[in-house]
Structure 1
């Protein structure tokens, strides 16, 4: 209450100051709405400026709310009226004699043609909008992601990186929250990002990079939030598009996006089928120093994955009144995966080969996901008074059948091991959310509630083959059921206002988190700890009640220049696979285990940004600092156990490794001063420092790393477009592992055909086949002696060639020829809501 009272008092002082700057004359009210001229979307935080025509030093104004509405009070008089928004042409009305309340109606702002090229990020109509709490990248026609997936497209967004396994990072930090259209979604995966690899890249309309999230967002994700906003057609009538993609190594996709929009309702659907066989490989060179039968063990791993799937999204938005609507949608994703992994192992004593074995793993996975959503929106008036409510249920059901064979083939043939794994993983998630927005003159007050309730049940059964009886028997030591619940209840409030060139947004969020889990096994607790190699609570129930304040400030140094400052507190909750203590089975000697004793990590983050635009060049930059307590880290250690043939087993386990500090800076440059060439590049330098120890071993470490990307798009003769994207990830290290730098280059050619109603494109992903992770790990025991080393290389997907064809019907044709003459690369692809 003190926080709210203070904000209201400050607002009252400033409003009073501006209202009576000209004396106690008659007061008038100027209202209206600001929208994007192309998309008709409301523009939040657009500025209305009222400048006294007789005395230009007297200025008042306000900002628009989420609906683009503004309401400004001022003394009656003659004014120069100006409505402006970053990267848009301003709207002006000079010498307006305003003696009564005035409604300016709907003000349409168009992208500034003279500045559009200067804010190019990737491809056509890819602009960056800087708002109080985020940067919005409106993704246009990025040629290198034609026929690709959402994951590929994210790798071209500044500040974002995607590693060789598909893990997404923001400013080098993997603790990032992924949202779809502002909410957690089955389309973003359940605790992983695998589902994003199945969604087409051209489904994206824009990506919001939220490094300083306001209080309206979930506090999850210490690095920040990536909100992926999918396309939704606004053109009346029936329209859509069909896309076909094929490539090598074997990949194919077909999708259809259909949309029917009338004045009363909007029906949208997306159908998609995909098939791919991306090969991958890895190798490990492990050396042991005491206590092992072998001095060196090498592994060469080949992965052949077949993924056959289908997804559909069907929804309808119905307009109840002119001010209210209800939207219902159903999303389903079916996937049938067959993975074959060959792991060839060579064992050494000193430098001599002792034996060689081959381990084959055949995994069949049946994955079914669906989600039903219901949204209600009511605009009480034109001033932005609004209520929204959301209900959502998601379900993911995975079934895995795995057969593992391992045999020795040198110096002689011999049986080693044979296993069968049957695993089911079911996750249910319920979301309840309500948000209320109340304009308060020039200011805006918001409040809301959000409940997110997740339950995961993993049923794991391991059977081993007995060659003497020629039968499989259940291994009760590793067979288990793991139940995990994550329940979050949150309320928030925030207040924003603008005084002249200064804007602020203050918020406070209260969240209660319950993490509850139980391991069910035939073993006693003592036997369970001994089998898994560490102690933990097999039946835990943890509660955390925390406050999460947010502050976002912006000051306009000039018309095309501003600075911003943000502070926010965040939480990183461990996901289910980080909690489950039972080991993976992809290797007998290198395993991953979860840790049920993991606690959430908390972070305080500060961000100072600067934006400057010239005619042909745009500069974005920021410096940032984050301090995270109870931060997660993965440590590798010898378990003290050996395989049946005498190899020491090494496990990787996540732990709360005390404190992590991260600070760095990033800079982005976007140039469009040449008609036929667009360039943009970014550079991010960061340093992290970790303090902490585990089982008597100090895992403190310092790491300085960087990544950079450069994109160039060239207009060739015959209306052919050529784009090249280059990305380099600098070397990095943590407490145990050093990883080499990594270079990746993508290239594409594209041409519009059939009267600009269709586009054909060809692209190659990872042109140099260099997207590989090379790492070196050293592990020490509690006495400080070197225990083992591991030298590894991992490549999740090899170089990919694809050809894509997209046909659009009943959609506005590309105005590319005319836009080239105007330097306004505005490619309208449209398309229904895609999932």
Structure 2
């Protein structure tokens, strides 16, 4: 395999060749300028498309798009053109046989919303599934048939640069230190991984991927930020969509999104119900060793079957009042409830050193889950006379309750009860002041206050008492409090084609980690400065280069800190580390973006240096179950991690009926550190954690319009093998497929999709320790087949959120919007 330097060189060479091939040195060059606005709101339209079609040679097409001010400045060859100005869901404006011989200003072009009934409307353009911008990538969920009937985890696993492993852990560019936001706020769920599996994909509008955030964003997440934007109706009048899903294994659900909008208010709601069965399985084959001699003393094969059943309801109701022309007040109330179970059966097959069968043990864990969440959020947006001058005030409060109980049947029968309660409050102020048209100042405050209490109880059956008695080894009340106050300021400007943005964020963290059963109280208080700097230069109307730096933090939470383990397996036990320190990251990113008529190419070279990074280690506990050693795993702070990577994303539309997008990411991790502990024989064991690992993953997505307007979408993902300091993970490939057809005069859509066609999406690992060598495969969810029907009333298929900018969703995107 070529190294990343060779790949980068070839790509840059290809880009250069294509750029030179497009030049015609003998033709007279002229510039065509103008501005495009929305007729109803008089707001500028960003990303409107301007197409110049040579009237004599129609195959000769050029053009460009508008910037954040709705303006365009496009260089073309002098000649006679048919000029079209297009935007999704707007009527196209066209100038036929327009002679353009000298620099020309087309003036202000006004586009009207396409209000004609769907019957007879020709949809001239469709927003691409992936929009590539200089500072972030936006994945538009509504265009993706692949995730119909799925969850947010399925959505994220289709987003460029993002991977979701079989256990639901989200990583960005191969880095799991990522911050997940929902509507710009941290998720209020206790377990974010579980919450992503419960939230239906049909409730999601789009996903923003920010690989190197500026100082205005929360400093949490050394790998970057993923912002999940929920649907909020904005269309005038009464309108909405309803999606019904059935699937195998059992997957039934209905999700509806509705809104009622007038000149004075907008009322919107999203309601969803789902019932899912996600069967999974895992296997681990272990060779048991004598740590002193290394000889084999036995074998143990473990087989596990899961049947994860979830029934859930997600609902939100919101109202947006336009108190004045410049003041908007929005309130949203959300409620989530879910119940489920996870019958977990584990079979252990034991063998001696000569592989002679000794016997079978069975362990059955009947787990029940129940969760409930309520959140209220309010927002005031005050706009001032000057365009872009704005103040946002946000407040949200939430209460989350999760209850997991288990009945474990083994050679010792046990019952467990895990009750978690979380209260979370957030206050945020953001102020934006444009000093000139090309200069802006920002400042803000954010207060994030979280209290989590975990009450974990274990009782073991006592034959003498003929009853279940509390087991103090595993019973504890664990309390986690995190109070973070942050202030930030930013200043940015644009000088000709050069832009810069400097920011500084200060966060004060007050953390309490308390174990009430053992009277162990810990307080960690620290404050940090988080500077950021961004530079961009426009090489042309369609290409940019950028350089950015930021400092980030990752605070350990939840199961990372709680030392009292769970009991899903009594020989492989996970235990948290209450003494973990936060990890601090320096991130640098160099990017290049280029657009052609049919191709958008975005590439970046990035590097991270993380101090006190924490990772998982496995070690012998010194205890045995029927002669089998119990292995403990948990996180520790290592010394330093260096990460260097290269990635590119490519959007290509070779024909109107075919769109392709691909993403490739290569990274190299180097860890320097060691971990020492004293084993059960009172011997000090030092684990050398120095490790150099390379990895890469690639994803390609294809969408084709077949005859009879049937859409076919396919994608494939490959995660390459990767070495770890205690073994390695093996390469895995998976693929998905979907078909869709519009019906009822494009008011309805039928979609059929298959997730994990080859049933190959697993995590495959090899682990090597002094006392054990093991090979394991873990499949969280088996192949899923879904059929869904979506019906739209008074809403177009390719609806554009008219008031996206008016409601502040683009605030802070100062730079690099070509």
- TM-score normalised by length of structure 2: 0.82
CA contact (8 A) 1:455 1:485 kept: yes
Where does 1:44-123 land on structure 2 (aligned, <5 Å)?
none
* Structure 1 residue 778, shift from structure 2 partner: 1.1
> Which residue of 322, 330, 339 corresponds with 1:336?
339
Look up the match of 1:269. Answer: 269
* Structure 1 residue 807, shift from structure 2 partner: 0.7
Q: Distance in 1 between matches of 2:709 and 2:702?
A: 16
Q: Distance in 2 between matches of 1:829 and 1:646?
A: 63
Look up the match of 1:660. Answer: 641
Look up the match of 2:630. Answer: 649
**Partner of 1:463: helix, strand, or coil?**
strand
> Which residue of 380, 383, 390 corresponds with 1:379?
383
**Partner of 2:186: helix, strand, or coil?**
coil
CA contact (8 A) 1:233 1:831 kept: no
> Which residue of 485, 488, 493 corresponds with 1:489?
485
> Which residue of 398, 401, 406 corresponds with 2:405?
401
* Structure 1 residue 191, shift from structure 2 partner: 4.3
Look up the match of 1:207. Answer: 207
CA contact (8 A) 1:811 1:829 kept: no
Q: Distance in 2 between matches of 1:618 and 1:311?
A: 37
Q: Distance in 1 between matches of 2:40 and 2:753?
A: 29
- Cα deviation per residue 1:118-169 (whole Å; 9 max; x = unaligned)? xxxx9853242414x3233344411211222222111111111111111111
Residue 466 of structure 1 pairs with residue 462 of structure 2: yes
Look up the match of 1:748. Answer: 738
Look up the match of 1:168. Answer: 170
- Cα deviation per residue 1:33-79 (whole Å; 9 max; x = unaligned)? 986789998778999xxxxxxxxxxxxxxx988xx699xxxxxxxxx
More displaced stretch, 698-707 vs 671-680: 671-680
CA contact (8 A) 2:666 2:697 kept: yes
CA contact (8 A) 2:291 2:771 kept: no
| Cα distance change on mapping 1:565 and 1:471 into 2, 3 Å | same
| Cα distance change on mapping 1:637 and 1:694 into 2, 3 Å | same
Look up the match of 1:632. Answer: 614
Residue 456 of structure 1 pairs with residue 460 of structure 2: no
CA contact (8 A) 1:325 1:378 kept: yes
* Structure 1 residue 291, shift from structure 2 partner: 6.7
* Structure 1 residue runs without a partner (length 5+): 1-31, 48-62, 71-83, 98-103, 112-121, 407-415, 526-537, 780-785, 815-825
> Which residue of 521, 525, 528 corresponds with 1:543?
525
* Structure 1 residue 469, shift from structure 2 partner: 3.0
| Cα distance change on mapping 1:69 and 1:718 into 2, 3 Å | closer
Look up the match of 1:315. Answer: 318
Residue 305 of structure 1 pairs with residue 308 of structure 2: yes
- Cα deviation per residue 1:680-733 (whole Å; 9 max; x = unaligned)? 212111110001111121111111110001111111111111111111111112
- Cα deviation per residue 1:543-602 (whole Å; 9 max; x = unaligned)? 111110111111011111111111000001111111000111000001111100110000
* Structure 1 residue 199, shift from structure 2 partner: 2.2
**Partner of 2:192: helix, strand, or coil?**
coil
Look up the match of 2:363. Answer: 359
Q: Distance in 2 between matches of 1:600 and 1:762?
A: 44
| Cα distance change on mapping 1:344 and 1:710 into 2, 3 Å | same
Residue 722 of structure 1 pairs with residue 712 of structure 2: yes
Look up the match of 1:444. Answer: 440
CA contact (8 A) 1:252 1:274 kept: yes
Q: Distance in 2 between matches of 1:343 and 1:677?
A: 47
CA contact (8 A) 2:234 2:801 kept: no
| Cα distance change on mapping 1:184 and 1:337 into 2, 3 Å | same
Residue 258 of structure 1 pairs with residue 258 of structure 2: yes
- Cα deviation per residue 1:778-823 (whole Å; 9 max; x = unaligned)? 12xxxxxx222221100000000010001111213x4xxxxxxxxx
> Which residue of 761, 770, 774 corresponds with 2:764?
774
| Cα distance change on mapping 1:95 and 1:64 into 2, 3 Å | closer
Q: Cα RMSD between the aligned structures?
A: 3.2
Q: Distance in 1 between matches of 2:87 and 2:592?
A: 13
Look up the match of 2:3. Answer: none
Q: Distance in 1 between matches of 2:103 and 2:737?
A: 53
Look up the match of 1:73. Answer: none
Where does 1:475-486 land on structure 2 (aligned, <5 Å)?
475-486=471-482
Residue 248 of structure 1 pairs with residue 248 of structure 2: yes
More displaced stretch, 508-517 vs 284-293: 284-293
Q: Distance in 1 between matches of 2:131 and 2:753?
A: 25
Residue 179 of structure 1 pairs with residue 169 of structure 2: no
Residue 796 of structure 1 pairs with residue 780 of structure 2: yes
| Cα distance change on mapping 1:191 and 1:469 into 2, 3 Å | closer
Q: Distance in 2 between matches of 1:203 and 1:552?
A: 33
- Cα deviation per residue 1:313-369 (whole Å; 9 max; x = unaligned)? 011011110000111111110000111000001122212222211000011111001
- TM-score normalised by length of structure 1: 0.80
Residue 563 of structure 1 pairs with residue 553 of structure 2: no
Look up the match of 1:158. Answer: 160
CA contact (8 A) 1:391 1:432 kept: yes
CA contact (8 A) 1:294 1:348 kept: no
| Cα distance change on mapping 1:721 and 1:86 into 2, 3 Å | closer
Q: Distance in 1 between matches of 2:212 and 2:395?
A: 26
Q: Distance in 2 between matches of 1:592 and 1:430?
A: 30
CA contact (8 A) 2:432 2:443 kept: yes
Size of the alignment, in residue pairs? Answer: 711
| Cα distance change on mapping 1:85 and 1:624 into 2, 3 Å | farther
The structure whose RCO (Cα within 8 Å, separation 6+) is larger is 1
| Cα distance change on mapping 1:199 and 1:37 into 2, 3 Å | farther
More displaced stretch, 395-404 vs 448-457: 395-404
* Structure 1 residue 647, shift from structure 2 partner: 2.0
> Which residue of 418, 425, 433 corresponds with 1:430?
425
Q: Distance in 1 between matches of 2:582 and 2:338?
A: 32
* Structure 1 residue 455, shift from structure 2 partner: 0.7
CA contact (8 A) 1:679 1:713 kept: yes
CA contact (8 A) 2:237 2:261 kept: yes
- Cα deviation per residue 1:167-220 (whole Å; 9 max; x = unaligned)? 11100001110111111133xx33422212222323333222111101110000
Where does 1:567-578 land on structure 2 (aligned, <5 Å)?
567-578=549-560
Look up the match of 2:59. Answer: none
